[in-house]
Copies of this chain bind each other. A is one copy, B any other.
């Protein structure tokens, strides 16, 4: 790979700096060599040239929380057993196609995730850059009350065999252990796996129960830090959020959710003062109206006015938000599934549809008063910093990976312009988006038909 020169665009580099008009970006291999005003730029002989006059260039978008496996539906989990990496590959390509060049996968089957991450990194397959968290420590696998209770339809062998592909010995049985017992299991998990960050459950998935006591949470955080990893928690209530912060988490995953009560003022103040990154599950006002009228009671326990008000308060107080979507592939077998359809199908601006969710997030952020520039940083540099990846990612600066989007309209002018992507570059390579996803699985029109 030689040098590529992208000429003439306005570059919004994701730092605090104002945009650079008529810039020249030199890409050398998979990294940026330089960004400069045209006047000062020297394009090496032999460089491949991309004319981007009149265009806008931004860092590749990042999603601080997606689930490439898609919804862990009982039948799909069985149907695709042994082929999970095919599904992950499809998902990462759907994301890449829509401008998300980096994804932090925060819950999924560990081994296939690592396989796909490494194959992408080695350039063997196309896809968004992945960072993998594996299991949410303290949660059981997909065939469990934490996700989809199987109500005696499945045998214990099946349940165990599937769940352990997610749990890797840091499942819900950790709740029986002392803090020392939890520490020991987490340490083994980190040592044996090759995860990129640690996520644990501070509270339950549906109920606001607390999963781990304060000392157990501290033990998890210490083990993550000892291994040089960032750590985040799944929280759903005011008290579990406070506990997560006290335990020393680096990133508050959907820290804007406090369920049936508002975020306490003291917690909000702590978040702002310590500049704690909050991965916030923003959705558009249209979606919130839909949820108010059509959401199930269980959904509205978490996705309600408290969430909306928390987001507004966080933005007004200048908290550091991160784009986070819980995004997953919404192909026919998923969205038509009786467990998913009531929440997804027919929902207005459904905020978890991978490939679309990040655009909606950015729109929702601006709707709630965030400046366009802060929205951009929430989707790029804030995430890189929160995950300790800012040496390589998050801004367009010399030395960083050449992950960038070329838009044909200014996203700082109108947040809807984020959708006007004309090119995606990742690792210095221009992506042929028309080919993606290369192999359709969950997005196949009629997946059943192909079987016979």
Contact = CB atoms under 8 A, between A and B. Distances in A.
Contact of A333 (B158, B211, B243, B337): B158
Interface in A154-206: 154-158, 160-161, 172-173, 175-179, 181, 204
Interface stretch (A19-27, A86-94, A256-264, A407-415): A256-264
Interface stretch (A55-63, A73-81, A278-286, A313-321): A73-81
A54 interface: no
Contact of A155 (B153, B243, B333): B333
Interface in A133-157: 148, 150-157
A261 B172 CA distance: 13
A334 B153 CA distance: 12
Given A75-B153, A155-B336, A156-B338, A238 B178 contact: yes
A369 to B, nearest CB: 26
Contacts of A276: none
B208 A210 contact: no
A237 to B, nearest CB: 6
Contacts of A208: 175-176
Contact of A214 (B148, B173, B176, B213): B213
A157 B442 CA distance: 12
Contacts of A259: 176
Contacts of A261: 176-178, 181
A74 B336 contact: no
A447 B157 contact: yes
Contact of A175 (B177, B209, B213): B209
A434 to B, nearest CB: 27
A98 B375 CA distance: 59
A175 B243 CA distance: 13
B237 A155 contact: no
Contacts of A212: 210, 239
A75 B264 contact: no
A82 B450 CA distance: 12
Given A79-B81, A214-B214, A155 B209 contact: no
A385 interface: no
A83 to B, nearest CB: 12
A216 interface: yes
Contacts of A153: 74-75, 148, 150-151, 153, 338-339
A305 to B, nearest CB: 14
Contact of A239 (B79, B207, B213): B213
A74 B154 contact: yes
B75 A336 contact: no
A399 interface: no
A196 to B, nearest CB: 23
Contacts of A274: none
A159 to B, nearest CB: 8
Contacts of A175: 207-209, 237, 239
Interface in A214-251: 214, 216, 237-240, 242-243
A215 to B, nearest CB: 8
Contact of A79 (B158, B210, B260, B338): B158
A332 interface: yes
A266 to B, nearest CB: 9
Given A211-B209, A260-B173, A239 B178 contact: yes
Interface of A: 73-76, 78-79, 81-82, 148, 150-158, 160-161, 172-173, 175-179, 181, 204, 207-214, 216, 237-240, 242-243, 258-261, 264, 332-334, 336-339, 446-448, 451
Q: Which 4 A-B pairs have the closest CB atoms?
A: A209-B209, A155-B337, A78-B78, A161-B448
Given A156-B336, A177-B239, 13 more contacts: A74-B154, A75-B158, A76-B158, A148-B153, A153-B153, A158-B333, A158-B448, A177-B238, A178-B264, A204-B207, A209-B210, A213-B214, A213-B240
